[in-house]
Amino acid sequence: MQHDTSRQRRRFVWQAAFFLLFALAPVFNVFRYDLEAGHAWLLGMPWRLGLDAFMAGRISGLEAGGNLLLRLFLPLLLAAGGLMLIAWRWGRIYCGWLCPHFSAVETINQLMRRASGKLSIWDRQALPPRLADGSPRPSHPVWWIPTVLFAIGFAALWAVVLLTYLLPPAEVYGRLWALDPTRNQGIFLLVATSVLTLEFLFARHLFCRFGCAVGLFQSLAWMSNRGAMVVGFDKPRAADCAACYDNGGPGYAACEGVCPMRLRPRTAKHKMFACTQCAQCVSACGTVQEQRGKESLLRWVDQDAARRNEAQVSLTGNRD
């Protein structure tokens, strides 16, 4: 159990650190595209494609094509390939451990749970009123106030950060401090904040599952590797799942109740397509089983153990 708690703490640290990087990268020109300057910034240095020299007639079309290949397409392919390789081996670990959007999803989940007893307004039933360790899980409508305020505040913060990826951060923050954004900046911030607020409140799980291209391609890469890391279920000890429903347990399947993507972790891999490898299900199961002096029924597995845990029908429809 201590190991599971430590893992969730490390995950929180990684999420917080990456969110700070996401918010501060434009400020320090780590990476952004400057619409006013007409070029990108990378690690504090201007990153140009060399097309200005082509338009001015200083280089040939062949040289311009080479610049595009080396300075644009090759870096993009390397970055995308690296992400897909990580996903092929470890799944959507970027989503569960780094993604700033998923950080908001999890935070709003917990606030909404306090407000309504559910992790999403689309859940048909509220969660039973106990946590994995059997302690009370109270909810009260007053929590809708911080839930909505957090969604609006987080959406506004995202809108401002996204704007700094396109315009000089000093100008954006300076005008906001003076409460004097330009007309176009004001329109962008208003529209982006409104759209993101609605997404955070009503469609955050749908976006993660079906609307995020980064998440979708990670899932496809992960599903193509039968030996990839996956949450494995100790099937010979399946009877121990009854501990969730015994006196002192949460009264429901604890692993399903904590999953931020609303999945059922004990099912086959192809039904866990949107798993973000956050391991909250592993921690919840460990909490329940620890009270019985036993180990978690769920754990991360890979290679042969992952293949044994996989569904009987693969993604391509071929039987294992």
- 315 has a pLDDT exceeding 80: no
Give residue 4's pLDDT. 65
Averaged pLDDT for residues 72-93: 92
Q: For position 135, what pLDDT does the model report?
A: 87
Q: Is the pLDDT of residue 318 over 50?
A: no
Any alpha helices (H) in the chain, and if so which ranges?
A: 2-24, 51-55, 61-68, 74-90, 93-97, 100-116, 144-164, 169-177, 183-198, 204-206, 213-223, 254-258, 280-290, 303-309
Q: Model confidence at 231, in pLDDT bands (50, 70, 90)? A: very high
List of residues 6+ apart from 40 with CB closer than 8 A: 31, 32, 33, 34, 46, 47, 48
pLDDT at residue number 2: 53
* Residue-averaged pLDDT of the chain: 88
The residue ranking higher by pLDDT, 308 or 32, is 32
Across the range 107-112, mean pLDDT stands at: 93
What are residue 88's phi and psi, to 5 degrees? -60, -35
Amino acid at 272: M
Give burial (CB, 10 Å; 0-12/13-18/19+) of 124. exposed
Question: Which residue bears the tokens 């305020």?
Answer: 149
Amino acid, res. 64: A
Tokens 């909250």 belong to which residue? Answer: 280
**What does the pLDDT look like over 246-293, one tens digit per residue?**
887 888 889 988 898 888 898 888 889 999 999 999 999 999 999 889
Asked if pLDDT for residue 3 goes beyond 70, the answer is no
Residue 70: predicted pLDDT: 80
pLDDT at 311 over 80: no
pLDDT of residue 1: 52
Indicate the range of 77-86, 103-112, 128-137, 156-165 predicted with least confidence: 128-137
How far apart CA 10 and CA 37 sit, in angstroms, is 39
Contacts of 224 (CB under 8 A, 6+ apart): 88, 315
pLDDT of residue 61: 74
Which residue from 147, 128, 164, 81 is spatially nearest to 256, judged by alpha carbons? 128
75-80 average pLDDT score: 90
Of 2-6, 150-154, 158-162, the poorest mean pLDDT is in 2-6
Contacts of 316 (CB under 8 A, 6+ apart): none
Digit-coded pLDDT (tens) for 58-69: 777 777 788 778
Lowest mean pLDDT among 50-54, 118-122, 130-134, 198-202: 50-54
Share of residues in the chain with pLDDT > 70 (%): 93
**DSSP 8-state secondary structure symbol assigned to residue 238:** G
Q: What is the pLDDT of residue 56?
A: 65
For residue 103, pLDDT over 80 is answered with: yes
**185 or 268: which carries more pLDDT confidence?**
185
